Structure 1
């Protein structure tokens, strides 16, 4: 009997064990509110055991399971400091690591994609992967014309593994429920599933990366490697490297952290305007800082296509909230689908709900921090909080789901960095509708 069914059964069993084990801890009252948003503090030893089990399993898997781990890793900053330690190291490992593909399997993929004489395309090709991700790994090589290149190849069977993982995603709902109580878990899983399936299409990814590389060509702040060629399961790009963002987070100077946060935010808001797309995978493993102080951006398998740019109501409603125009904010939120038609809502209540989230934009300088994120998380999720009670009555329209998820992930990274900058000025430059002087589109 082939070992493929055995491996499929094994990964399914591992995935299935996680929510069951976690549910057991929750039943005992130990796993309740993993983000520290409950009244009691979770025991440190139990936190460590949970972390070790969860991330040892996710770390052995590829496809959707590892992607879930990467998605969780950006919320590490929301964990209370007393229990964040056991998670931080395990989470960081997920951001750019996976078991490597055997050399023979690499050769089979390259032959399938470029033919039996695939080595003639390269002067050199490193057998050892330089990086590994959720559905593929990257090898360093020298192209036949002497250029240093990165060769990203898809794991054999990645599609089948991904589809299997997607069937299991509903089992992870309790984990997301903890990180985001009241969140539209079903909508998130549906949206995430759709984006993950797109990542299997390296043609789409190459097209997206080429568009980003074109609009940021020569940019003083953002650097995107050029695509050289691609097939269905392989992409060859320029080799561009620098200091990993994870290293900046753990070892960087305040100036380096501030610069990295500024660049990440600039990418987040400028890309929809320039490329008509939003880079939708903001975990630190996808970014490095170049020697000339630019943000190097990798992995364009997950992008949100926004041909009209960031929706104007995002900027308009943010500005109106900062101005304290409660009536206009309520009308706009209702029009966009955030406030149900039959929900009566107090103007001051909606401002009290939204303004603390926008604190980074109220002053010309603001420093993100883990403490700020934990305080906001508690305010928005604690059962006795007025904000939490109001939040449960509001909706998140499907059209804003991905924007929300990416923004939340980016904020998590900014808090890991502890970055300080004039975030308001970035909004004024790139977010449609935010600047009062901005002329509306005709």
Structure 2
């Protein structure tokens, strides 16, 4: 146990080195620009090295740091095309791969969680993991009744690593505050920390998955594997086989892309009204297209509980922006704490900032592309843009955190898929508050 403090110090040093490394590269980049080097090539070089360091460190550390990396990975489609190669490669690795633990470690966890006779519960158990994630890895096996199952085993010490990473990341709150001065950063980070800590107990995840599996049992378009057994650090679920979204993103046909996009959008928007919950871990590794044409969904560790369904606020905001009603939009956003009382922001500026995000609701069919998402990212990150200054005045209330994460994450996946779909119909059907609310004469 004597090496635990050393490992914690090593993890902390690596995390702390991320902003320092980025700052050093930016300073060097400014120096190169002052000597006349081309800004585009300098920016590209900085981005490449930053991407390599960021995702190498997050991937190695697993725990909370890697979970942040996986959350970031869905935004790969927003990276400018000339810089996207190294990001895409690093992000894709993060979505599906991490160094596996030894067979001895796996057996030790199974002994502790399922009892020393756990082997009797399986006909077969593949010692080589089929997938790995931030706090655990998955093994393929055959249950004693003949069902193929996925066995999710938590890494020894993952709970300690996650809590340590989150404590360290909380210390960056001042840095985050400087990037978003209009936001209440500490409550937001606290909410994120609390939700991530929940994922340490696989019994909570199993209960979430049971609820989804019950609702979608026999559904013509969505398959959620049933839970077979669970304990705090091991979960056994039915195995499903399909084409991962990552493969469709890389080489899928137009038909596959559009079908995968539609199914993902309908699943995301419909679950709050159907079940009062929202699958809150949107990255391509958690979705697949089954041979029967249905959507397969896995990993229910992160779930937003919405007993009243999706809040009307988002739908009303989209509708007000779509109808060009800036004063009403500003009033609503202040009332719902998206703009704090002390922030001085103009209604027209807020409308201009949000307007492009409602593009999918403007037409019957919308084509989600990398170019569209890149444009949105560029206009809100350009220091010379009015949208950049507006963005720094906005707040994200903690109770909207996971909803925002899912919405933006799903958009990122749709753009990676290059999917075209009837987004407005889906929004109209499932998003409360979106239908036209103009007073009747």
Could you tell me the TM-score, scaled by structure 1's length? 0.90
CA distance in 1, matches of 2:305, 2:261: 23
Post-superposition CA distance 1:364-384 (Å, at most 9, x none): 111111111121122223222
Higher mean C-alpha displacement, 401-410 vs 160-169: 401-410
CA distance in 2, matches of 1:40, 1:25: 14
Is the Cα–Cα contact under 8 Å of residues 229 and 237 in structure 1 kept in the other structure? yes
Q: In structure 2, do the counterparts of structure 1 residues 354 and 3 end up closer, same or farther at CA, with 3 Å as the change threshold?
A: closer
Post-superposition CA distance 1:71-110 (Å, at most 9, x none): 2211211111111111111110000111111101111111
CA distance in 1, matches of 2:181, 2:96: 27
Q: What's 2:51 paired with?
A: 51
CA distance in 1, matches of 2:330, 2:67: 36
Q: In structure 2, do the counterparts of structure 1 residues 181 and 363 end up closer, same or farther at CA, with 3 Å as the change threshold?
A: farther
Is the Cα–Cα contact under 8 Å of residues 180 and 392 in structure 2 kept in the other structure? no
Are 1:427 and 2:427 matched, yes or no?
yes
Q: What's 2:134 paired with?
A: 134
Question: How many aligned positions are there?
Answer: 432
CA distance in 1, matches of 2:13, 2:346: 49
**Structure 2 unaligned spans of 5+:** 33-38
Is the Cα–Cα contact under 8 Å of residues 188 and 397 in structure 2 kept in the other structure? no
Residue 354 of structure 1: CA displacement? 2.0
Are 1:79 and 2:79 matched, yes or no?
yes
Residue 212 of structure 1: CA displacement? 0.8
Q: What's 2:110 paired with?
A: 110
Q: In structure 2, do the counterparts of structure 1 residues 374 and 386 end up closer, same or farther at CA, with 3 Å as the change threshold?
A: same
Are 1:380 and 2:396 matched, yes or no?
no
CA distance in 1, matches of 2:362, 2:31: 36
Post-superposition CA distance 1:134-163 (Å, at most 9, x none): 111111111111111111111111111111
CA distance in 1, matches of 2:347, 2:44: 42
Q: What's 2:236 paired with?
A: 236
Is the Cα–Cα contact under 8 Å of residues 19 and 174 in structure 1 kept in the other structure? no
CA distance in 2, matches of 1:386, 1:46: 25
Residue 177 of structure 1: CA displacement? 8.4
Is the Cα–Cα contact under 8 Å of residues 74 and 413 in structure 1 kept in the other structure? yes
Residue 179 of structure 1: CA displacement? 9.5
Higher mean C-alpha displacement, 182-191 vs 85-94: 182-191
Q: What's 2:266 paired with?
A: 266
Q: What's 1:303 paired with?
A: 303
**What secondary structure is seen at the aligned counterpart in 2 of 1:384?**
coil
Is the Cα–Cα contact under 8 Å of residues 277 and 307 in structure 2 kept in the other structure? yes
Pairs within 5 Å for 1:166-177:
166-170=166-170
CA distance in 2, matches of 1:325, 1:93: 43
Pairs within 5 Å for 1:139-158:
139-158=139-158
Q: In structure 2, do the counterparts of structure 1 residues 57 and 255 end up closer, same or farther at CA, with 3 Å as the change threshold?
A: same
Q: In structure 2, do the counterparts of structure 1 residues 22 and 31 end up closer, same or farther at CA, with 3 Å as the change threshold?
A: farther
**What secondary structure is seen at the aligned counterpart in 1 of 2:235?**
strand
Q: What's 2:163 paired with?
A: 163
Pairs within 5 Å for 1:289-368:
289-341=289-341, 346-368=346-368
Post-superposition CA distance 1:291-349 (Å, at most 9, x none): 11222111111111111111012212222322223343233222212234466655444
Q: In structure 2, do the counterparts of structure 1 residues 98 and 344 end up closer, same or farther at CA, with 3 Å as the change threshold?
A: closer
Residue 5 of structure 1: CA displacement? 3.7
**Structure 1 unaligned spans of 5+:** 33-38
Q: In structure 2, do the counterparts of structure 1 residues 81 and 21 end up closer, same or farther at CA, with 3 Å as the change threshold?
A: same
Residue 182 of structure 1: CA displacement? 6.7
Are 1:400 and 2:400 matched, yes or no?
yes
Q: In structure 2, do the counterparts of structure 1 residues 369 and 186 end up closer, same or farther at CA, with 3 Å as the change threshold?
A: farther
Is the Cα–Cα contact under 8 Å of residues 16 and 171 in structure 1 kept in the other structure? no
CA distance in 2, matches of 1:277, 1:253: 31
Could you tell me the TM-score, scaled by structure 2's length? 0.91
Residue 4 of structure 1: CA displacement? 3.6
CA distance in 2, matches of 1:264, 1:87: 24
Q: In structure 2, do the counterparts of structure 1 residues 384 and 224 end up closer, same or farther at CA, with 3 Å as the change threshold?
A: same
Residue 207 of structure 1: CA displacement? 0.7
CA distance in 2, matches of 1:307, 1:414: 27
Higher mean C-alpha displacement, 155-164 vs 329-338: 329-338
**What secondary structure is seen at the aligned counterpart in 2 of 1:75?**
helix
**What secondary structure is seen at the aligned counterpart in 2 of 1:204?**
helix
Residue 249 of structure 1: CA displacement? 0.6
Residue 202 of structure 1: CA displacement? 1.0
Residue 63 of structure 1: CA displacement? 0.9
CA distance in 2, matches of 1:8, 1:231: 26
Residue 420 of structure 1: CA displacement? 0.8
CA distance in 1, matches of 2:420, 2:203: 37
Q: What's 2:35 paired with?
A: none
Q: In structure 2, do the counterparts of structure 1 residues 13 and 326 end up closer, same or farther at CA, with 3 Å as the change threshold?
A: closer
**What secondary structure is seen at the aligned counterpart in 2 of 1:236?**
strand
Is the Cα–Cα contact under 8 Å of residues 191 and 402 in structure 1 kept in the other structure? no
**What secondary structure is seen at the aligned counterpart in 2 of 1:47?**
helix
CA distance in 1, matches of 2:74, 2:31: 19
Q: What's 2:198 paired with?
A: 198
Is the Cα–Cα contact under 8 Å of residues 345 and 393 in structure 2 kept in the other structure? no
